[in-house]
A and B are shown apart, each in its own frame.
Chain A
Amino acid sequence: MDSFFAIERLSAFLDEELPPAEMTAVRTAIAENPEVREAYEALKRNRQWIAEHIDTAPPDTLRERVFAELSALESVKEHERSFWSSLGISWSTLRIGFATASVALLAYIIIVPDATLLLYQAEQTAEFARAPAPETDAHGLTKEPQRATESPAMAQVDRSLKEATESETLPTPSAEIATESQPVPPPQRQQTVSAPNAAPTGVVANAVNAKGDAGSADQLSGIEPQAAAQRTAMSATRGAKRATANDALSGSGGSGSAAAISFAADEAPPPLPFEEPPESKSMALGFASDEDSTDAMATARATSGSADSTGATRQAMPVLKVVTYRVYTTDINAVLQLRDTVEGVGSQLRSVGGGSFTSRTLSSEDNFVRIQTHLPTNQVQTVLNQLEALGATTRVSGEYGGAEEVQLRIEMYYQP
């Protein structure tokens, strides 16, 4: 009777946990086999011993201790209840309130960082849409509305630019910027994008890479006046990879100055206090990828009602393609210069054939500027060619999928 299975069956028989048929079989075995009977009796005896001898009387102090602790527990609860009830708040309401507040706080922590940026962008878009069409001057440049909160230095820069534009002899705004800026160390690594021979009036060269934790430190460096063209160059260099992304957008030719804004590679840049939207590309002033364009087009389709829920497109409506550039910087002077040159570019784009052109000005309290233009598709490639001639990194496939016009957006974010 040393078989484990036999013992297991006997043990289960003792506990009456066997099926009736097995119970009968084991009962028969116990009756007929002395060895089985002896094993069963031993199990039964041990079980009885356990049942008899484990039972132990608890000490008298146990009950006192338990109920003393329970009383203390109840008094604490009662105290809490009385406190809140004195304030007219029931305990259950309070618990619901705490739970709701916790959920709200959690939701705030999770959602708000993204929502703030989205809200901000939505607000800026709405303001941008509400803004009146910009006036143009005799030179075809967009007139900039008066900024409400304009610093004297910025006003001085703007006045100088305006005077220079009117007299076709642009002064060097960079010099004025340099006077009010802090002493700037010489650029360590700088890449300047030059305009082609037939230099346009406005050149935007942006290279800001805000992606990744490396970031870029920007500094305003040497500014040299040149009579032929106004050049503005910003180059960004990633720390370890030394990957410099720069794009240039050139406008019409004219006199002006050249300003070079470089981003030092070896200096640890201050982290940008805003996050790059996940959909934006790391390339500065780079064209959005095809996927982005497709998404934007889909959005445009959806907003224009050109597609129904089944995806069937009504070809009667024009298809709009949206290409967005995003630029991030922490240097207000760089943004001001970009704004000025971008506006020049805007006018150039319009002269190329843009259906409309609007821009939004930038002040010290405004950290966002957007330039937006609609271009007929057949004119887009002209602009792209100009960009590429300036060294811009473009990634547009050149096919616009039947879009009749393209909306070109340049967004610059500034965070002091």
Chain B
Amino acid sequence: MFFSVLLAAFRAPADAELVRRFKSGDTQAFGLLYDRYERRIYSQCIAMLGNAETAEEIAQEVFVAAYKGLAKFRGDARFSTWLMTITINRCKNRRLKAHRRSEQRHESIDPSPDDEKATFQPVSTLDAPDAATHRRQAADQVRAALVQLSEEHREIILLRDFQDLDYPEIGEVLGIARGTVKSRLSRARTELRKALGNQKP
């Protein structure tokens, strides 16, 4: 089992190879890229936006935009970084639009923790009932804490701790310097620590 997974990992074409195949006309290559990043993109969207429906809509927009723009992708950055840039920008635009709409209606756009509980779903339903319940509660606590962060801090924590991008890649996605990444991430972590308090998911 382990060896088969390892073998599959070795056999799996790299992102750059799939991009090259797509550019040469192999549209199936995009399917492989989609499968590779679907979960990460959707998770990022739902963590950023706090609403499953909106997250699904934005994730769809991200992949369609990537499909349209992949022919022009020069490969200066990694495909994952490029895709994450699209995702972050789409999420920001959506929040901006929602913010404008809410300003007109004098409403708040920040998702409340109750909304988070209603929209977030467990990672896996194959676990034992107790374990699943526990995981759901833990996920709810983390997401509720994330919701309390500013958008700027939320996105940088997600990029580093969830997407596992390094500092230069984060800087590329957000358009900020490496030193700014370092300081902003430190502040975001401090803020998250306060938001979580003594909770122990």
Is A12 part of the contact surface with B, judged by Cβ < 8 Å? yes
Q: Mark A23-61, 1 if CB is under 8 A from B, else 0.
A: 000000000000000000011001101111111111101
Q: Mark A47-86, 1 if CB is under 8 A from B, else 0.
A: 1011111111111011101110110011000000000000
Is B38 part of the contact surface with A, judged by Cβ < 8 Å? yes
User: Residues of B contacting A63 with CB < 8 Å?
Assistant: 34, 38
Closest Cβ of chain A: how far from B72's Cβ, in Å?
A: 13
Closest Cβ of chain B: how far from A99's Cβ, in Å?
A: 15
CB contact under 8 A between A50 and B161, given known A11-B182, A56-B42, A63-B38: yes
| Cross-chain contact B60 with A17 (CB below 8 angstroms) | no
> Chain A interface: which of B78-86, B96-104, B136-144?
B136-144
| Cross-chain contact B27 with A46 (CB below 8 angstroms) | no
- B135-194 with Cβ < 8 A to chain A: 135, 138-139, 141-143, 146, 157-158, 160-162, 164, 166-167, 182-183, 185-187, 189-190, 192-193
- Chain A residue nearest to B183 (CB atoms) is A8
| Cross-chain contact B192 with A46 (CB below 8 angstroms) | yes
CB contact under 8 A between A56 and B34, given known A62-B42, A65-B60, A69-B64: no
| Cross-chain contact A50 with B190 (CB below 8 angstroms) | no
Give complex CA distance A15, B166 in Å.
8
| Cross-chain contact B46 with A56 (CB below 8 angstroms) | yes
Interface centre among A43, A51, A55 (most CB of B within 10 A): A55
CB contact under 8 A between A55 and B39, given known A11-B186, A63-B34, A66-B63: yes
| Cross-chain contact B34 with A66 (CB below 8 angstroms) | yes
Closest Cβ of chain B: how far from A174's Cβ, in Å?
A: 70
Give complex CA distance A54, B201 in Å.
12
User: Residues of B contacting A17 with CB < 8 Å?
Assistant: 166-167, 182
* Dominant SS among interface residues on chain B: helix
Give complex CA distance A307, B39 in Å.
77
| Cross-chain contact A70 with B123 (CB below 8 angstroms) | no
User: Residues of B contacting A296 with CB < 8 Å?
Assistant: none
CB contact under 8 A between A46 and B167, given known A58-B59, A63-B38: no
Closest Cβ of chain B: how far from A353's Cβ, in Å?
A: 72
Q: Mark A1-26, 1 if CB is under 8 A from B, else 0.
A: 00010011001100101000000000
Closest Cβ of chain B: how far from A80's Cβ, in Å?
A: 14
Give complex CA distance A73, B161 in Å.
35
- The answer, among B38, B138, B160, for a CB contact under 8 Å with A53, is B138
CB contact under 8 A between A7 and B190, given known A50-B157, A54-B142: yes
- B103-149 with Cβ < 8 A to chain A: 120-121, 123-124, 135, 138-139, 141-143, 146
Give complex CA distance A53, B188 in Å.
17
Interface centre among A17, A49, A61 (most CB of B within 10 A): A49
Give complex CA distance A47, B63 in Å.
27
Is B196 part of the contact surface with A, judged by Cβ < 8 Å? yes
Q: Mark A184-213, 1 if CB is under 8 A from B, else 0.
A: 000000000000000000000000000000
Give complex CA distance A8, B47 in Å.
24
Give complex CA distance A43, B189 in Å.
7
**Selected A-B contacts with CB under 8 Å, 28 pairs:** A7-B190, A8-B182, A8-B186, A12-B186, A15-B185, A17-B166, A17-B167, A46-B161, A46-B192, A46-B196, A49-B138, A50-B161, A50-B162, A51-B164, A53-B123, A53-B135, A55-B43, A56-B120, A57-B124, A58-B56, A58-B59, A59-B52, A62-B42, A63-B34, A65-B60, A66-B34, A66-B60, A74-B27
Q: A4-B186, A56-B120, A65-B60 are in contact. List 9 more A-B contacts (CB 8 A).
A: A7-B189, A15-B160, A52-B138, A53-B138, A57-B123, A62-B56, A62-B60, A66-B34, A66-B63
